[in-house]
Structure 1
Amino acid sequence: MAATLHDVARIAGVSIKTVSNVINDYPHVKPDTRARVQTAIEELGYQPNLSARSLRSGLTGAITLALPELSLSYFAELADAVIRAAERAGKVVLIEQTNGDRTRELEVLTSPRLKMTDGLIFSPLGMGMDDVDRLEVPYPLVLLGERIFDGPADHVTMRNVEAARAATEFLLERGRKRIVVIGAHEDEVIGSAGLRLRGYREALDAAGLDFDPALIGYTTLWHRSNGATSMRALLATGVEFDAVFGLNDTLALGAMRAIQEAGLRVPDDVAVIGFDDLDEAQYSLPSLSTVNPGRDEIAETAVATLLQRIGDRDGAIGDARQILARYEIVERESTPPL
């Protein structure tokens, strides 16, 4: 027979009410008591009755995560980190893929499926600042990404400008002065590409170097093939360069392939750095130096922030918050040592 709440309470040596408090993640349970209850739950294989729990609390124990494209490594790894963070909090995650399409993103925000969950972690790509009012929704919402700022929802994001500036300075410190950027978007100001290009330009200005438009490789998507195509196009122009900054790791890996195909050595002839610290960056040849933008911290913070809002029945938290993750430069073989 399936284990019951009474069985868990008996094994843990606590009351049924205490077991219920642990299952519902009430904060006032003592850590040692919580640990005993969780151990008993695991030993017995106890599964809470989610339907009854939902009727009592008005909560489902699930959250929704909406991302642009799970085929992109960054979003796949972000989804994994969110799922793991939610599991540690006793929650399950339902995934929505929007393909970065604005219409699809707006549909997600009003989808009846959201009634199956208690809140939404949302990373838009097609929407922009003109859509900020669309984030006025009647359920807990945490925003990710760099498309919309200063909106009505809590926003967990990365320090794009500062991190891109640090990546560029990292190359400048190693004597590289002709730094190609791969992945820029025409006329973009708000968004990952625009913000990272701004950080690149700030680093050049601080070093007293002129900005050269001939060193900017534009793309639409940020796939590996786009990085390779953009790099080949720049190579065909004959422009001189000694380093490449891929605005994400996937672009950088594609660019590095094109550089090596052209007979250039990495990092001797061309130093390469990316952005995102994907797992695969450790295993390229050479391994890719990159920016770790705090993806795991973003996932942990987004889940914790959403759960705070879900539990904030009386609105005590107040206005929307912006939370910035920490970043670090990860040095590997694609850049020369100092």
Structure 2
Amino acid sequence: MMARRVSIKDVAQRAGVSWKTVSNVVNERPVVRADTRAKVLAAIEELGYVPNLVGRELRGGLIRTIALVVPELQNPYFARLAERMQAAARERGYTVSVEVSLHSAETERAHVRGRTARPVDAVVISPSGLDPEDLLDRVSGPPVVLLGETLPGAAGVVHVAIDNVASAADVVRHLVAGGHRRLLFLGAEDAVRSTGTDRLAGFRAATRFAGLPQDPSLVRGVGEWTREAGRDAALAALEDGVEFDAVVAGNDLLAVGVLAALHARGLEVPGDVAVVGWDDTAEVAWTRPALTSIAPDLDALIAAALDAAIGGAEQGDAEKSGAGQSGAAAGRVAEAVIAHRLVERESTRAVPTSSPPAAPGA
């Protein structure tokens, strides 16, 4: 069962003082004796208390705000997610505070543990630096919903995402049906489990089932999932003489970079090489050629995330009043799998299968 948020009254009880004294210490008022201040500060540290809106804590109840924590907003997917979640939450009487972690594990850890300056009722986060232990050892904190990336073994959280293994298999089937035989995967990762590793697992299973080459040179890792990284990885594969007739990029940004690399080398898409991405961001309909991409049901993803976040917040509020019991089982991550579809555009099409394709870098 998830621990409830530590309150100012808890700190007062631990320190053996009144809540007003705790408030004076938190607000740095010079009316508290040094020894009393030391006791209060020790209790705050021991309990992991984060000063919040004192009036709200004393009254109890929700503040009707959810934090959406994303690694960056340069990725159009996260920008669109933030905008549409704001609108969906507003319809439910909640506001969304958009927080950008800039891939900082420390920032993400502060949000999931509730140790931020502004109080929220729940946290919806797309993590890039967290470990499962960051969720296991929380003394207190808001309900947490994971988007996209999962953290195996984390307790009392909900994970909302598309089926990345199945979507990768859909990409492979689409390319095989178009006559492609040597598929280059960009976006392999070494993490225990991540979006990249799940998509690679689906890619490998589907290519094995189709009898395609299992050439290690056809799987490439990238440091970041950006346009620049996609361009550089594709150029490196060409320079290494890797033969491929299609590129499966881990997200749309990588795929857009691949298009730039192929254009720079004078290769036609899809005539010489087909390209597929993930996320179906707005820009892929405007690339030349327009990019085939896996589209998550974003409205369903947002609805599931808000259901979990608001449900957890309201349940926690009821527990404070003795009106409910937590439904989160320790050590378990609840999964919400969201539908997806492959949106076919000009970057993929059928190619002749009578003879193997020539190496793009030749």
Taking structure 1 as the reference length, the TM-score comes to: 0.79
Structure 1 unaligned blocks of 5 or more: 1-50
Q: Which AA in structure 1 matches 2:340?
A: Y
Q: Which AA in structure 2 matches 1:265?
A: E
Following superposition, the deviation at residue 188 of structure 1 comes to 3.3
Does residue 262 of the first structure (1) align with residue 265 of the second (2)? yes
Following superposition, the deviation at residue 109 of structure 1 comes to 2.4
Following superposition, the deviation at residue 208 of structure 1 comes to 1.7
Partner of 1:62: 65
Partner of 1:36: none
Following superposition, the deviation at residue 337 of structure 1 comes to 5.2
Following superposition, the deviation at residue 242 of structure 1 comes to 0.6
Evaluate the alpha carbon distance shift between residue 315 and residue 143 of structure 1 in structure 2; reply closer, same or farther with a 3 A threshold: farther
Following superposition, the deviation at residue 58 of structure 1 comes to 1.4
Q: Deviations for 1:100-127, whole angstroms, at most 9, x for unmatched residues?
A: 2222221222344366221111221112
Q: Deviations for 1:283-323, whole angstroms, at most 9, x for unmatched residues?
A: 11111001013333211210122111122221264545211
Partner of 2:179: 175
Evaluate the alpha carbon distance shift between residue 117 and residue 104 of structure 1 in structure 2; reply closer, same or farther with a 3 A threshold: closer
Q: Deviations for 1:133-173, whole angstroms, at most 9, x for unmatched residues?
A: 14674322212222403422122122111111111111111
Question: How far apart, CA to CA, are the structure 2 residues paired with 1:61 and 1:228?
Answer: 43
Question: How far apart, CA to CA, are the structure 2 residues paired with 1:294 and 1:227?
Answer: 25
**Could you tell me which of 246, 249, 254 is aligned with 2:249?**
246
Q: Per the alignment, in what secondary structure is the counterpart of residue 116 of structure 1?
A: coil
Structure 2 unaligned blocks of 5 or more: 1-53, 319-323, 352-362
**Could you tell me which of 335, 339, 344 is aligned with 1:326?**
339
Q: Which AA in structure 2 matches 1:261?
A: A
Partner of 2:36: none
Following superposition, the deviation at residue 53 of structure 1 comes to 9.0
Partner of 1:192: 195
Taking structure 2 as the reference length, the TM-score comes to: 0.74
RMSD: 2.4
Question: How far apart, CA to CA, are the structure 1 residues paired with 2:225 and 2:201?
Answer: 18
Does residue 315 of the first structure (1) align with residue 328 of the second (2)? no
Q: Per the alignment, in what secondary structure is the counterpart of residue 291 of structure 1?
A: strand
Partner of 2:349: 336
Question: How far apart, CA to CA, are the structure 2 residues paired with 1:129 and 1:316?
Answer: 20
Q: Which has the higher helix share?
A: 1
Q: Is the 8 A contact 2:113 2:141 kept in 1?
A: no
Does residue 232 of the first structure (1) align with residue 205 of the second (2)? no
Q: Is the 8 A contact 2:69 2:125 kept in 1?
A: yes
Evaluate the alpha carbon distance shift between residue 316 and residue 218 of structure 1 in structure 2; reply closer, same or farther with a 3 A threshold: closer
Evaluate the alpha carbon distance shift between residue 282 and residue 246 of structure 1 in structure 2; reply closer, same or farther with a 3 A threshold: same
Q: Is the 8 A contact 2:114 2:142 kept in 1?
A: no
Question: How far apart, CA to CA, are the structure 1 residues paired with 2:183 and 2:260?
Answer: 17
Q: Per the alignment, in what secondary structure is the counterpart of residue 160 of structure 2?
A: strand
Evaluate the alpha carbon distance shift between residue 150 and residue 296 of structure 1 in structure 2; reply closer, same or farther with a 3 A threshold: farther
Partner of 1:6: none
Question: How far apart, CA to CA, are the structure 2 residues paired with 1:328 and 1:210?
Answer: 26
Share of identical aligned residues, percent? 33
Indicate the structure whose relative CO is greater, using CA pairs within 8 Å and at least 6 residues apart: 2
Q: Is the 8 A contact 2:85 2:302 kept in 1?
A: yes
Q: Which AA in structure 2 matches 1:332?
A: R
Q: Is the 8 A contact 1:274 1:291 kept in 2?
A: yes
The farther-off stretch of 72-81 and 262-271 is 72-81
Q: Per the alignment, in what secondary structure is the counterpart of residue 278 of structure 2?
A: coil
Q: Is the 8 A contact 1:128 1:147 kept in 2?
A: no
